[in-house]
Amino acid sequence: MSIENFDSEMTFNEVNESEKIYDLEERTFLFAAATRKFVRKIPKDICNYEDIPQLVRASGSVAANYIEANESVSKKDFYYRIKICKKEAKESRLFLRLLETGIRIELESDRKGLFQETSEFIKIFQSMLKNEPK
């Protein structure tokens, strides 16, 4: 799914179910976009106020560093950027767990989909790192 076809009203779960995305650059972009949509719906309290910016930064960093990895000038740089992608995906997962959604089932469903995506990113990036020369 490209940005032109991204419906801002769709949940992340609906995007993932409607079309499996194999382009990882696009997939990381959609994750960052869906995260931003998700945090706009979350109740604003003192804890969420601190955690939301961290989640937004980390989710965007997964996408940005993956782009940087694809444009790397050396294998060493590529693997360094993939390590950062993995680290930022883990950080995104942490802040998704910390956010308080209240008892809104829709938000819990969205969080679960985003959490699942971070878990898949971590596995993908770990798999890429297995090929890293020692």
Contacts with 19 (C-beta within 8 Å, 6 or more apart), sequence order: 1
How does residue 9 score in pLDDT terms, banded at 50, 70 and 90? low
Q: What is the pLDDT of residues 57-115, one digit of tens each?
A: 999 999 999 999 999 999 999 999 999 999 999 999 999 999 999 889 999 999 999 99
Residue-range domains of the chain with CATH: 20-129 (1.20.1440.60)
Q: Is 90 exposed, middle or buried (0-12, 13-18, 19+ CB in 10 A)?
A: middle
Global pTM? 0.84
* Angle at 100 (CA atoms; ends 60, 26), nearest 5 degrees: 25
